[in-house]
Amino acid sequence: MTTPVRISLLVPAKDEAENLPEFLRQCAAALPAIGVPFEVVVVDDGSRDLTPAVLQDLQDLYPFLRVVTHLRQRGIADALRSAADAATGDILVFYPADLQYRPDDVSRLVAPILADQADIVTGTKQGKYDKAFVSSVYNGLCRWLFGIRVTDLNSVKAFTRDVMRSQPLRPDFHRFMVVIAAAEGYRLTSTPVPLYPRTAGMSKFTWRRIPVGVLDLLSVWFQLRFGRKPMLFFGIAGATLFLIGFVAGLVALVLRFGYLLGFASLQTGFRPLLTLVEMMVVSGFVLFGFGFIGEMLAGIREEQRELLRRIQADRQD
């Protein structure tokens, strides 16, 4: 009878043919020291180099290696989801294949989870790297918006399978795994992890991902803050705009009838005021409409969550 796997290393790989042999060699040397059964699940995310052939050869060499193939590049979030579906361990570890993080440090990531002290452990990068400024801005915004106290949210991390189930199926949302898990009530901690220079291959990060990341950050903040009570956002905004339009309308009436201004003056001098009244009132009604629609969608989402909880409870029973 085989011992169940406890730790599954989830490794997205895009054009990493040069790094994979050394990465798997280090995994074979470091992971057995943790003392629990493990596996490494590598996702070939639409590679265009020799990655598929290299992985096929490595499977014959390392029994713990499992390979998942994407015919086209789908991104890290989808790669993690595919790897988690193929993995059998109850502790999942996100680790890239570029050797900027060494498998020697997996043990310190999984230690708090094995000791039942945390549900998700994020690594805090140690050392100099090219994206340090961008990373510091991102982490600072996350700490400010979400109140997360860990230093580095976008690094390697270990987490339980339940944490993975709580993550939305959205592109690039792997960057917000820590804040979403914290919002769901999972226990969070961090540990220092050295970061090494890349020795082969090319970084997949480009400046184009910065504005996309900022928009994603605002989207996650909105969903976590108002996802269950959208009327709290749209209702207050709509009421504020409607109130501004109502007050502006009163001012227009006072100026028109209280000071007995002529019709020509109303048409020329106060046309912007009338436009403001119309725009504020209409915008207020529209935002209220968005709030009602959002409340209906939030109700459907809550029903889905309750159904999922019941399914999971039935499976455990």
Cα 175 from Cα 138, distance rounded (Å): 10
CB half-sphere exposure, 216, CA atoms < 13 A? 17
pLDDT of residue 314: 66
| Pairing mode of beta strands 7-13, 91-94 | parallel
pLDDT of residue 28: 93
Residue 145 pLDDT grade (very low, low, confident, very high; cuts 50, 70, 90): confident
Cα 257 from Cα 150, distance rounded (Å): 61
Residue 190 pLDDT grade (very low, low, confident, very high; cuts 50, 70, 90): confident
Average pLDDT, the chain: 79
pLDDT of residue 117: 92
| Alpha-carbon distances of 123 from 50, 83, 190, rounded to whole Å | 30, 20, 6
Residue-wise pLDDT tens digits, 7-47: 999 999 988 889 899 999 999 999 999 989 999 999 998 88
pTM here? Answer: 0.72
